[in-house]
Amino acid sequence: MTKPRLAGVIAASVTPVTAGGEIDVARLARHIGRLHADGCDYVSTFGTTGEGASLGSAQKAAALHELAEAGIDMARQLPSVMTPTVADAALSLRTAGLLGCRAALVLPPFYYPFWTDAGIVDFFAAATEIAERDAPPVDLVLYNIPQFSGVPYSPDLVAMMIDRFGDRVIGMKDSTGDLDNGIMLAKTFPALSIFTGDDRVLPHLLRAGGAGIIGGMPNLFAADLRRIVADPDSAEAAEASEKSARRIEVLDGNGGLAAIKAALAIYGDDPGLSQVMPPLRALDDATARRVVAMVDETGFAYAHGE
């Protein structure tokens, strides 16, 4: 059966964690259910917003198996691969393949400053070779966030990945926040689903042929982002885009991921959702409530989707 083209609103889900640093799978499953109810087409677990770089690959693989056992539709999952080691990347790709995930969101290996494009391709070739010894192949969405990883997916590297993996490379998440870069990617690689990670870029990228958004803001604001995706030229989309820009300023200026988790904890009346992994620290209660008050001023009404 032909898989549907990847497009729309994809939530880069937060990861509920315990005070002891374990993934709270029950809370995560409930949150994923709410994200789908709020209109997210897919969910990407364990990326930047999901604190994927602070969680072990074995932890994440076990959590994905538990999500599947809990009834989560894994065909609507894009788990992230965030590791500089071939063995851990292989484990993550193997798990995504075994569970029938729609795709894996793959960050390039980081740490060494003397990487080459050919070396990046070799890394994924080695990881997929190991993963596919006993698991089906999984499609790949390239994750471009060089301000964090230090390794950009340049057009040349994207072309090399396509040359090596063919139509298994189905898209890219461009988290540079650079509109011109996103438009260039959409024009250069029309067969790929090009996503932005920035709400403010979304309507412009859609008009240029982009596929949608993979970002952290759908954890809270999926309904507004759906309005933009449905018709980026509409008055409703323009209003939603203006609100999105203000909300990004509020949340990014007051802790970023920790602020998103704090807001979810308050809106959902679930204090455990505010817990973050070291080296991050949770917001104190007064700061969290001040952030939520600023978000409320944008006209946001939290929807408890079931």
- In three state form, how does the secondary structure of 157-184 look? HHHHHHHHHHHHEEEEEECCCCHHHHHH
**Residue 240: its pLDDT value, please?**
87
Q: State the burial class of residue 163 (Cβ atoms within 10 Å of its Cβ: 0-12, 13-18, 19+).
A: exposed
**Residue 2: its pLDDT value, please?**
72
Question: Which pLDDT band holds residue 299 (cuts at 50, 70, 90)?
Answer: confident
- 244-262 pLDDT, tens digit each: 889 999 999 999 999 999 9
**Residue 306: its pLDDT value, please?**
41
The label of the residue with tokens 């030229």 reads 233
101: left (phi over 0), alpha (psi -120 to 50) or beta: beta
**pTM of the predicted model as reported, rounded to 2 decimal places:** 0.95
Question: Which pLDDT band holds residue 302 (cuts at 50, 70, 90)?
Answer: confident
**Residue 300: its pLDDT value, please?**
84
Contacts for 83 with CB less than 8 Å, ≥ 6 apart: 57, 89, 92, 107, 109
What is the rounded (10 degree) CA torsion for 276, 11, 96, 165?
-120
Record the tokens describing residue 272, joined without a space. 């455990």
Query: How confident is the model over 67-86, as a mean pLDDT?
Result: 97
Question: Which pLDDT band holds residue 305 (cuts at 50, 70, 90)?
Answer: very low
Record the tokens describing residue 253, joined without a space. 């200026």
Contacts for 262 with CB less than 8 Å, ≥ 6 apart: 255, 274, 282, 283, 287, 288, 291, 292
Q: State the burial class of residue 76 (Cβ atoms within 10 Å of its Cβ: 0-12, 13-18, 19+).
A: middle
Question: Which pLDDT band holds residue 202 (cuts at 50, 70, 90)?
Answer: very high
Percentage of the chain surpassing pLDDT 90? 90
pLDDT for 96 beyond 90? yes
CA distance 225 to 280: 27
CA distance 159 to 42: 25
255-83-197 Cα angle (round to 5): 45
Query: How confident is the model over 106-116, as a mean pLDDT?
Result: 93
The label of the residue with tokens 């602070």 reads 54
Percentage of the chain surpassing pLDDT 70? 98
Domains of the chain, with CATH numbers? Answer: 8-231 (3.20.20.70)
Higher pLDDT, 301 or 136: 136
Contacts for 219 with CB less than 8 Å, ≥ 6 apart: 11, 12, 13, 14, 31, 35, 49, 260, 264
Q: What is the mean pLDDT of the chain?
A: 95
CA distance 186 to 184: 5
Roughly how many angstroms between the first and final C-alpha of the chain, as a whole number?
A: 29
Which of 99, 37, 106, 40 has the alpha carbon at shortest distance from 66? 99
Question: Which pLDDT band holds residue 1 (cuts at 50, 70, 90)?
Answer: low
Contact 79, 45 (CB under 8 A): yes
Contacts for 261 with CB less than 8 Å, ≥ 6 apart: 14, 273, 274, 275, 276, 282
